[in-house]
Chain A
Amino acid sequence: MTTSTHIKRFSARGLLPAWFFLALLLVACGDSGPPSVQESVLRRGNGAEPESLDMHNAISTEAGDVQRDLGEGLLGFSPTGELRAAAAERWVISDDGLEYTFSLRPEARWSNGEPVTAADFVYSFRRLVDPATAALYLISVTNIENADKIIAGELSPGALGVAAVSTHEFRIRLNSPVPYFLSLLTHPSTFPLHRASVERLGDEHLRAGNLVSNGAYKLQERQVGSHVELVRNEYYWDNENTKIDRVVHYVTPEPMAELNRFRAGELDMTRTIPPESFVQMKDERPDEVRTSPSLAVYYYGFNLTKPSFRDNPKLRQALSMAIDRETIADEVMGRGETAAYGWVPDGTANYQPRRFSYADMSRKERHHTARQLYREAGFGENNPLTIEVRFNTSNVHQRIAASVQAMWKEVLGIGTVLINEEFHVLLANVEQKDITQVFRLNWSGEYNDAHTFLSMFESDNPSNLTAYQSVEYDSLMDRAAAQTDPDRRKVFLAEAEGLLLNDHPAIPIYFYVNKSMVSKRVQGWGDNVLNYHYSQHLSLAAEE
């Protein structure tokens, strides 16, 4: 090749073919054509990447939504959140509340056509508590006989209080009565695993083509960072009532990008609605905005190992009373969140939440009492308090912290230093309790029972990050735990919440709300506090 021809290739005119080359390359990079149009395909925005499809390795709500489509536990929820039979068609609970015997559906099948048996549940429960599994989420089974000793490595998994009474009869024995135990059995960690494929393939059993599941769908394809695609499980016992043929759970970690995909018609439902677009969506697409109360509370916790807050409930109450929760819920958030004047959210099953004694006071009265308490706590104009508030970096948390800062300044004259930290740094500081004074966190209910909210303040609960210690509170919680009569139990739980609200180890600010965009095409959607939406309950109306 001569120099001149070589140079010619780089010349301006020579760039023209390169344009065609680029266009050709773009076309060549495309994949196969679209899927068949006859199929009913549900496209779900699922938030962050599900960390695992292994029922024993996941903890996130994103993984849970995929797992509830893939698998099925002994019980499940209706679209509106009522407990109902699933893999078990009925059950008997012993009088002492310790023994549960489940009759499995004889027609239940794995996605390979094999029957689902009690032995599958026994294997799965034992695997879950086996230390070698290193499961993260064990709350559903920690009350089963010997579970704690097995997790601690003192007993073998075979000692767990579960048994296959017959091919289709599965029995669980508990250490102590757990009134909400049935609702725990809806969690994916309690779903059965197909023993033969797990043991034969190891981690490879989770791959498309290998994964044998017992839910309404089976795994078709998984691309990390992109989507998890499921198709109808023809062997599922209720297959004839399953309307959607194919479900694609798209990975949508960015709420705004997810919303844009919905608006562009690429998704039928979203996991959330970004705060900055909520009002716009309410105006533009009111029929597609779905909100419902959520079992989660946003709170500011006190580090009760620090002198200013320890032994000073008056100061803690003054700080709580000075916060105008309605302003934060309605104006700073404005997506349907509700002001939190108690610890347990409304909508919690079989429970009437308690409220702060000052919940019904006027704003003026509240502020007046707050100032009085502040002075009684030993502070005032001549001895003002300065507080550090730590929160994880986020626009929402920043806005709330700035509002609280202004409210405390206005009502009590307190100076507040706002410190934002990366989430894991915040968690580490809160756990260490060395430098933290006031911190922002939230608590989401793991099951629909007041216990999930109230147990976190028990002295020995690792999630008791405020270090609240109260013998009376622990005693009330113990007495509630020992009750088999649900009404008596409710009384003890309510008393415990009343004590908690009186002691102010934390300031509940607002209760969260579930919010999603749901296309008008999606039928069968039901609002529920846990925000569970099984694809098998949904169907799609014909395109307009």
Chain B
Amino acid sequence: MAYQTGMTDSLSDMIACPKCDALHRVPRVAPGEQAKCVRCGTVLMAPKEGAMTRIVMLSVTALILMVAAVFFPFLELSVQGLGTTSSVFDAVLAFSDGLMLPLSFAVAALIVVLPITRFIALIYVFAPMALGWAPARRAKDAYKLAERIRPWAMAEIFIIGVAVALVKVAGLAQVTLGPAFWAFVGLVIITMLKDNFMCRVTVWQTLNARSPS
């Protein structure tokens, strides 16, 4: 069973590991199985049954949760009869005075704008294919955008930040978690499930096979 390939194969039967350049013959992988690079172990192919439908559904769910997470009260703080409620929107505006303004934009981008952009791009790429149609126009660009954004969408890191902040104010005041907090937790779990269904090389193979040439 040689996975390394000779020069005689046609180019479309071969694949180079994007991380280490090792050349492989395109393997035949059954749904639910994985093909890994022989040298660095990067997952090359991981087709899954109904993956596209699931990605679309999870992205739509995540979008709805995001709307709830942004506008419902996130945390409620009370001390000596005084109380404040803050939403994710307030957290974004925390840096809005003077010098800190750019940081406000950055936080908004990292926890709201980029995740939303990514969900929309993924729905645009996968919804037509999940219905059995050809990929939408510029679906390849949309997918590339979604992958480029990936490291910068930091909703899950924000949740850990909330946990740390709660511990910090615990001595100072009483804090109640609002509905938006749970929406955000749901959002993080859904995002992780969704990313679990995506394998970059497999997606490109599918996009390429289904695009009209």
B is bound to A = no
Which residues of chain B have a CB within 8 Å of any CB of chain A?
Answer: none
Which residues of chain A have a CB within 8 Å of any CB of chain B?
Answer: none
